[in-house]
Chain A
Amino acid sequence: MTESSAATGTPRRHPTAGFRIFEGQATIVMPDGSYIHVLNEIGSRVWDLLNGQRTESDIVDLICEEFEITRDVAEKDVREFLAALEANRMLG
């Protein structure tokens, strides 16, 4: 079984995902074709940052900086968001 990028500590978007970020909003199409995902502003930014080069902690730092939210809130939001992406097989 292949280890997901989330488990290795530097999560990344699934390489087969089709997506565009337009006016700060990400629209994502997975190849199973069943859903089109539209993310909110913070989710879109996290998605943009998921290049497999940054740790979850790096991403939290950037979100704190850019959206002026506390680290506790950012940690919880990013963790839950990554779990949702993992559950939807959108990380790879």
Chain B
Amino acid sequence: MNAYQAIIARNWKSATPYSALFELTYICNHACSFCYNCPTGQKELNTQQVFEALRKIADFGVLFLTLSGGEPLCRKDFFEIAREAQRLHFAIRIYTNAFLIDEAMAERLKQEVHPFELEISLHGARPETHEALTRVPGSFQKLVNAVKALRQRDMKVLLKTPITRLNMGEVREIRALAEELDSELHFDNVITPKDDGDQEPLELGADEAFMKRWWSDEFKDVREEKVPMRRDDKEISAVCGTGRSGFALDPYGNIYPCVQWRRRVANIMEIPSMKEVWRGSSVLKEIRRVAEEIPQTTLKNSEVGEFTAFCAGVAWLQTGDPTKMYPQAEVLARYRKKTYVELQARAAAGEIIEGLDQTFEKCGE
């Protein structure tokens, strides 16, 4: 364990957060059919309120700050906010669809914001696929141009692709596009319900036949996880970092244990400090208890528990019970395990398989 991993482990144990995701706005210039955001119509925090929230988050010792949305760059005061975040010494990450990033914007981001990473949603390798989801003509080419502009300035880009029925036929092309754009790529196998529990986005998820293929040798050169990994709950007992390693804020200032599990903890404008609410909140105490319980119950009692990337927030949204195994997790784990068992057998027969017996990072780690 290196020094950084030791800090992470210590922070998890003491539930000391080191990251926060701040949804600055629900305004967006795309109309993605599976977007999970649910704007309420309330007034979003103004510039000074965002500054106050940032100061409270910084005073609490949080290092990693993700500026998200909606589309965060749609805020007219985005650069003011980002500069304040920089002045407070956050390590800044931006989640964006990149639609507004042209050469000039890329240069401003480089010179004024200095993010250590930009995460950009890519929904296909072709305009028609990407734009079938964003529902904005021209958004694919704008994204490609934006990534080129950012990479020309040596800014780190992580492309994120939720696998859907629409793009599952071109995952190999998406990988090739990411390589052409000199960017990292993360495929996400799970489409989540909307924040209000609406399950409609799940209909876009890739089917089980594809998931079976995804974990087979056919896609081992496309997956980041070349060899299926297993969970390791020995060092860190909670299923994920919800309410422990980080938290999320919506554009109205509401604090949640994480972006996925929207149990409201408090409003950051109504509390004197994060420290007070973090230790005293009954919601957070319950969230942490449940997150520690899941590896000992749900996962221990499941045949595929060892191979399950379990999200209590998705379980809660899909089943109403944060401890209940939900279909996507179970299906993915089943095929991850199948491939793992096959590879173990091949290794036992003498084949050299690198990376077997690695464990995967937990969400929030």
Contacts and interface: CB of A to CB of B under 8 A. Distances in A.
Interface of A: 15-20, 22, 25, 27, 29-33, 36, 38
B303 to A, nearest CB: 37
A15 B111 CA distance: 11
Interface in B73-90: 86, 89-90
B16 interface: yes
B187 interface: no
A84 B116 CA distance: 21
Interface of B: 2-4, 7, 16, 18, 61-64, 86, 89-92, 114-117, 154, 156
5 contacts: A18-B89, A27-B63, A32-B116, A33-B116, A38-B4
A18 B64 CA distance: 8
Given A20-B63, A27-B63, A36 B4 contact: yes
Given A30-B116, A38-B4, A22 B61 contact: yes
A40 to B, nearest CB: 8
B156 A29 contact: no
Contacts of B116: 18, 29-33
Contacts of A18: 63-64, 89-92, 116
Contacts of A33: 116-117, 156
A38 B5 CA distance: 10
Contacts of A31: 114-116
A36 to B, nearest CB: 5
Contacts of B154: 32
Contacts of A16: 86, 114
A35 B174 CA distance: 27
Nearest to B2: A38
Contacts of B2: 38
A68 B86 CA distance: 34
Contact of B16 (A19, A22, A38): A22
A16 B109 CA distance: 12
A16 B110 CA distance: 10
B304 to A, nearest CB: 33
B338 to A, nearest CB: 35
A29 B3 contact: no
A18 B116 CA distance: 9
Contacts of B90: 18
A90 B156 CA distance: 18
Contacts of B156: 32-33
Contact of B7 (A17, A19, A25, A30): A25
A60 to B, nearest CB: 24
Q: Quick one: which of B2, B3, B90, B117 has the most chain A CB within 10 A?
A: B3
A29 B4 contact: no
B57 to A, nearest CB: 11
B352 to A, nearest CB: 30
Instruction: Return the 4 tightest CB-CB contacts between A and B, nearest first.
Output: A18-B91, A29-B91, A38-B3, A33-B116
B110 to A, nearest CB: 9
B65 to A, nearest CB: 8
B192 to A, nearest CB: 26
Nearest to B11: A22
Given A27-B63, A33-B156, A38-B4, 8 more contacts: A15-B86, A16-B86, A18-B90, A19-B89, A20-B18, A20-B62, A25-B7, A31-B116
Contact of B63 (A15, A19, A30, A32): A19
A53 B187 CA distance: 47
Contacts of B86: 15-16
B6 to A, nearest CB: 8
B113 to A, nearest CB: 9
B44 to A, nearest CB: 25
Contact of A20 (B4, B89, B114, B117): B89
Contacts of B91: 18-19, 29
B246 to A, nearest CB: 13
Nearest to A31: B114
